[in-house]
Chain A
Amino acid sequence: MNATAAAAHAGGLPPGYADPVVGAQATFRAALHALSRPGTIVRAAAPQGLPPGLSPAMTALLLTLADGDTPIWLPPQASEAARNYVRFHCGSPIVADAARARFIAVPAGAAMPALRDCPQGDPAYPDRSATLLVEVRSLGTGRPVALRGPGIASVARLAVDGLPDDFWAQWRANHDRFPLGVDVLLMHGDQLCGLPRTTVVED
């Protein structure tokens, strides 16, 4: 029942958090910090077991945020083991159409759906939009961009490697749709960084 035994046990279903309440609260706090201080890199509480193909931060956020009311989009190439993990531990329906998802999980190497194709919310309920969880090659290295907006005193610099080439152009269009639009959490390993729709990006 320890972490090594869980990791060695590749065939079966890995466990979630050893203590679901403490783990989910720590990760929720990290996500809250990441979204209220865009550009800051924080760490998620890593779960005890990880499904194949998902990073600790992605798994932690899904365990923390997703439940039976939040359909999750996973890319077509996501393994059956990862789908089973999400079904069992989160109880969330898995949808193939990004337009019907609440959380859009993009593991490393998978193609990200265009931001405008994800649910943008409703003018009366802008919160009914999707949140994208995107794994990148690295956080903290690569060409930095300047971020401005609520939660940033003057300018924050964020270096990300592994986003699609047109991501920042899509991000500007997303910001222009405010108060509609999507929010993005970028992650690598157990690190994560928030991009709420209020954040303005400058080159």
Chain B
Amino acid sequence: MNNAKNADPEPAARAAWMRVLALAQPHALGRACAGLGQLPDHRWLRKPETGMAMVRARSGGNGGRFNLGEMTITRCAVTLDAGTIGVAYVQGRDAAHAERAAVLDALLQLPGWHDRVQAEVIAPLARAYDERLAAQAQRAASTRVEFFTMARGEDQ
């Protein structure tokens, strides 16, 4: 993500870190945030507001689109004194989670903060998420059932 150091990061790079921040566990994000020390002042563009969003999916990943269900999300937007805007959409109703994610999104757009936040917050949170996912997949795999069809002799 070295190309994300300028003031106007590539959308893909920004989407990647916004995803990590949104999927992080709130307490883990809080701890990582506290490790950064004093953060710059920010003011609200949009205070945290909680609502529902319809999640749509495609059957089999490529079939027709259908409404999977609604999920609760909290969104907010902040601006730093430098004018950088940070936005967050996170799962659940944790306003503090949304605020931290938005502030970090803004900081990640600043060249002076990008590398430090990337190394101290985003990388560990992304690792933790991957580990959670792997553990979950492992638990699910252990309950896997293989189905076999017995030949019943009709074809002979």
B79 cross-chain contacts in A, Cβ below 8 A: 9, 12-13
Q: How far is the CA of A9 from the CA of B81 in the complex (A)?
A: 8
> What are 10 of the A-B contact pairs (CB < 8 Å)?
A1-B44, A6-B43, A11-B83, A12-B85, A13-B79, A15-B43, A15-B44, A16-B46, A20-B47, A88-B77
Interface residues of A, Cβ cutoff 8 Å to B:
1, 5-6, 9, 11-13, 15-16, 20, 88-89
Is the contact region of chain A dominated by helix, strand, or loop, or is it mixed?
Answer: loop
Is the contact region of chain B dominated by helix, strand, or loop, or is it mixed?
Answer: strand
Q: How far is the CA of A162 from the CA of B121 in the complex (A)?
A: 56
Give 18 new A-B contacts, CB below 8 A, not counting A11-B83, A15-B43, A15-B45: A1-B44, A5-B43, A6-B43, A9-B43, A9-B81, A9-B83, A12-B79, A12-B83, A12-B84, A12-B85, A13-B79, A13-B85, A15-B44, A16-B46, A20-B47, A20-B49, A88-B77, A89-B46
A15 cross-chain contacts in B, Cβ below 8 A: 43-46
The CB with the most chain B CB atoms within 10 A, among A15, A88, A89, is that of A15
Kindly report which residue of chain A lies nearest to residue B49, judged by CB atoms. A20
Q: Give the shortest distance, in Å, between A6 (CB) and chain B (any CB).
A: 7
Verify B81–A88 contact, CB threshold 8 A: no
Kindly report which residue of chain B lies nearest to residue A16, judged by CB atoms. B46
Q: Give the shortest distance, in Å, between A59 (CB) and chain B (any CB).
A: 14
Kindly report which residue of chain B lies nearest to residue A15, judged by CB atoms. B45
Q: How far is the CA of A112 from the CA of B46 in the complex (A)?
A: 31
Interface residues of B, Cβ cutoff 8 Å to A:
43-47, 49, 77, 79, 81, 83-85
Q: How far is the CA of A197 from the CA of B12 in the complex (A)?
A: 49
Nearest 3 pairs of A and B residues by beta carbon: A12-B83, A1-B43, A11-B83
Q: How far is the CA of A122 from the CA of B136 in the complex (A)?
A: 56
Q: Give the shortest distance, in Å, between B76 (CB) and chain A (any CB).
A: 12
Q: How far is the CA of A165 from the CA of B86 in the complex (A)?
A: 46
Q: Give the shortest distance, in Å, between B103 (CB) and chain A (any CB).
A: 13
A9 cross-chain contacts in B, Cβ below 8 A: 43, 79, 81, 83
A11 cross-chain contacts in B, Cβ below 8 A: 83
Q: How far is the CA of A50 from the CA of B8 in the complex (A)?
A: 25
Verify B43–A88 contact, CB threshold 8 A: no
Kindly report which residue of chain B lies nearest to residue A89, judged by CB atoms. B46
Kindly report which residue of chain B lies nearest to residue A84, judged by CB atoms. B85
Verify A88–B45 contact, CB threshold 8 A: yes
A1 cross-chain contacts in B, Cβ below 8 A: 43-44
Kindly report which residue of chain A lies nearest to residue B85, judged by CB atoms. A13
Kindly report which residue of chain B lies nearest to residue A1, judged by CB atoms. B43
B83 cross-chain contacts in A, Cβ below 8 A: 9, 11-12
A88 cross-chain contacts in B, Cβ below 8 A: 45, 77
Q: How far is the CA of A15 from the CA of B85 in the complex (A)?
A: 11
B44 cross-chain contacts in A, Cβ below 8 A: 1, 15
B81 cross-chain contacts in A, Cβ below 8 A: 9
